[in-house]
Structure 1
């Protein structure tokens, strides 16, 4: 999943210690995946998780949650490069680890 067009360096270099998850429509991230990121943040360790979730049409949106060593925040990078009906772009959101949920960082 990390070989996406124009992927940010943080995504290209991430070691996915918290794994990769493929979600179906309306599925949330497993508690174990969220817990892995939260635990890493609490211990000051770096961590990364990748997941795909489908658009209404079934095209995959690819997301990466990254935690840097010593950080209390998570950064989520999202790619729409495989969405046939959208613009191929990368977006980025940052949230406190305590705000990260089974759907990622909240939109603000």
Structure 2
């Protein structure tokens, strides 16, 4: 069974970062917020349903009235989102003094 590239597609979604973050090896830190992401995928066809494989993620960044794109590997975006979620879990996690009553 051979796979043949049948084209490409882009999908649009949004992601939310609750903390400052970096993508991949980029030293630039981006602020928390909601970002638009365009995921670029190759589409492969065979004797089965099409397979979509993400090849890049384009983060749309709006800073100080300027809009620009930051391209990253899909796994770099996933890692940044996972790190952000872990930071939120740590910040919102159990109290360091669970025996102390609140209020």
TM-score range normalised by the length of the shorter chain: 0.3 to 0.5
User: Scaled by the length of structure 2, what TM-score is found?
Assistant: 0.36
Q: Which of the two has greater strand per residue?
A: 2
Which structure has the larger Rg?
2
Task: Compute the TM-score of the two structures, normalised by the length of structure 1.
Answer: 0.35
